[in-house]
Structure 1
Amino acid sequence: MKLLLTSGGVTNPTIRAALDGLLGRPVEECTALCIPTAMYGHPWVGPGVKAREFVLGEPGNPMVQLGWRSVGLLELTALPSLPAERWEPVVREADVLLVSGGDALYLSHWVHESGLGDLLPSLEDTVWVGMSAGSMVMTPRVGDEFVGWRPPAGDDRALGLVDFSIFPHLDHPELPTNTLAAAETWAARLGGPAYAVDDDTAIVVADGEVEVVSEGTWKLLA
């Protein structure tokens, strides 16, 4: 699987170019599935109007409306009630998974519970485009500062498909506590590499290589 891990979505030409590079062909030829599950677990986001805005690709959600050949909806909380043959082919046929922000641990829980987590290693050519929690879910830990919904295990572990953590929305005007100083304090407790990234920055993971692409501000916190 190829990863485009963003804080705010596909917000500028540099991130868009990185997406095009991962796809290897025009967006207009690619099929996408949007996954809004993380939104339901976060008290600031959904369920409700924010989830609807993400699915419709309305302003402030620069992922779904990029011009895909088709966009479908994949709701992870529904999958355990369905036979695998009803949804696995849909996932395998998609070129891109567009994964919303919200609560990273709620999303991680449902990636496991839905069975999608078992499928991910086999999706070698699929591109995972994460926004905020949709990116953080791929990391080993999110840090106590980002624990909202508490998983059954009670800790801050996410999927661990990459070996670094992510502090999103650096210096966001609506999030005054998301400063670099706060990110450094957060990272010091994690015991591993981490990136603080703003909404004009993305992390590309492909073929075992990690690259930061940005028109904004970011820092590697070791």
Structure 2
Amino acid sequence: MRLLLTSAGVKNTSIHDALVDLLGKPIAECNALCIPTAMYGHPNVGPGAGVWRFISGRSAEPMCELGWKSLGVLELTALPSIDEEHWVPKVRETDVLLVSGGDALYLYHWMRQSGLADLMPTLSETVYVGLSAGSMVMTPRIGEDFVGWKPPAGGDDSTVGVVDFSIFPHLDHEMLPENTMADAESWAAGIPGPAYAIDDYTAIKVTDGTVEVISEGHWRLFPHGA
């Protein structure tokens, strides 16, 4: 699986070009599935208008509106109640998964419950595009600062761990006064491995284990979590 881990979607030309490079063909020739699940678990988003804006391509964080050949919805909370034969082939056939922001632990819970987390290692030709929590869920730890929703059985801040670094998104966002570089540094001190703080004009591209920062904004790597 190739990854494009963004803070706020495909916000600029550099991130757009990185996406096309990962796809290996024009966006207009690619089939996409969007995953809005993380939004339901976040108290400031939840079900309703925010989910509709994401799916319909009317949000301020471009993902679904990029001109895909086809666009479907993969709702992870529904998958445990249907047979795998009704959804696994669709995932295998798609070119790209577009995963919204929201609550990272809620998303992780449903990735595991649905079976998507177990399927991911077999999706070698699929491109995964994450937005905020959709990016954070692919890391090994999100950090206690980002723990909101908690699963009924309890647990810590661990997530899928496809990559070996953690992500602090929305760095210096004007509507998030708690997301300064100083806040990111404090967060990173609690992360046991490498960690990136990225703003909304930055993304992290991962191809065959090679990590590349794509940015028209600003970011910082904390090499050992501090």
Aligned partners of 2:118 and 2:139: how far apart in 1?
Answer: 16
Q: Structure 2 matches for 1:138-217, cutoff 5 A?
A: 138-151=138-151, 152-217=153-218
- 2:28 matches 1:28: yes
Which SS does the other structure have where 1:210 is aligned?
Answer: strand
> For residues 124-175 of structure 1, what are the alpha-carbon distances to aligned partners after superposition, in whole Å with 9 as ceiling and x for unaligned?
0100000000000000111111000012332100111110000000000000
> Contact 1:100–1:131 (CA<8 Å) still a contact in 2?
yes
> Contact 1:53–1:61 (CA<8 Å) still a contact in 2?
no
Aligned partners of 2:76 and 2:92: how far apart in 1?
Answer: 15
> Taking structure 2 as the reference length, what is the TM-score of the superposition?
0.97
Counterpart of 2:83 in structure 1 is 83
What is the identity, as a one-letter code, of the residue corresponding to 2:192? G
Aligned partners of 1:144 and 1:73: how far apart in 2?
Answer: 30
Which SS does the other structure have where 1:108 is aligned?
Answer: helix
Aligned partners of 2:146 and 2:45: how far apart in 1?
Answer: 14
Runs of 4+ in 1 over 4 A off after TM superposition: none
What is the identity, as a one-letter code, of the residue corresponding to 1:208? G
Aligned partners of 1:148 and 1:93: how far apart in 2?
Answer: 33
Which SS does the other structure have where 2:87 is aligned?
Answer: helix
> Contact 1:38–1:104 (CA<8 Å) still a contact in 2?
yes
Aligned partners of 1:173 and 1:61: how far apart in 2?
Answer: 15
> Contact 1:145–1:186 (CA<8 Å) still a contact in 2?
yes
> Contact 1:37–1:77 (CA<8 Å) still a contact in 2?
yes
Q: Which runs of 5+ in 2 are unaligned?
A: none
Q: CA deviation at 1:59?
A: 3.4
> For residues 27-52 of structure 1, what are the alpha-carbon distances to aligned partners after superposition, in whole Å with 9 as ceiling and x for unaligned?
00000000000000000111111011
Aligned partners of 1:81 and 1:60: how far apart in 2?
Answer: 32
Q: Calculate the aligned-residue CA RMSD, in Å.
A: 0.7
Which SS does the other structure have where 2:10 is aligned?
Answer: coil
> Taking structure 1 as the reference length, what is the TM-score of the superposition?
0.99
Aligned partners of 1:28 and 1:49: how far apart in 2?
Answer: 27
Counterpart of 1:105 in structure 2 is 105
Which SS does the other structure have where 1:79 is aligned?
Answer: helix
What is the identity, as a one-letter code, of the residue corresponding to 1:19? L
Q: CA deviation at 1:118?
A: 1.2
Q: CA deviation at 1:192?
A: 1.0
53-62 or 195-204: bigger deviation: 53-62
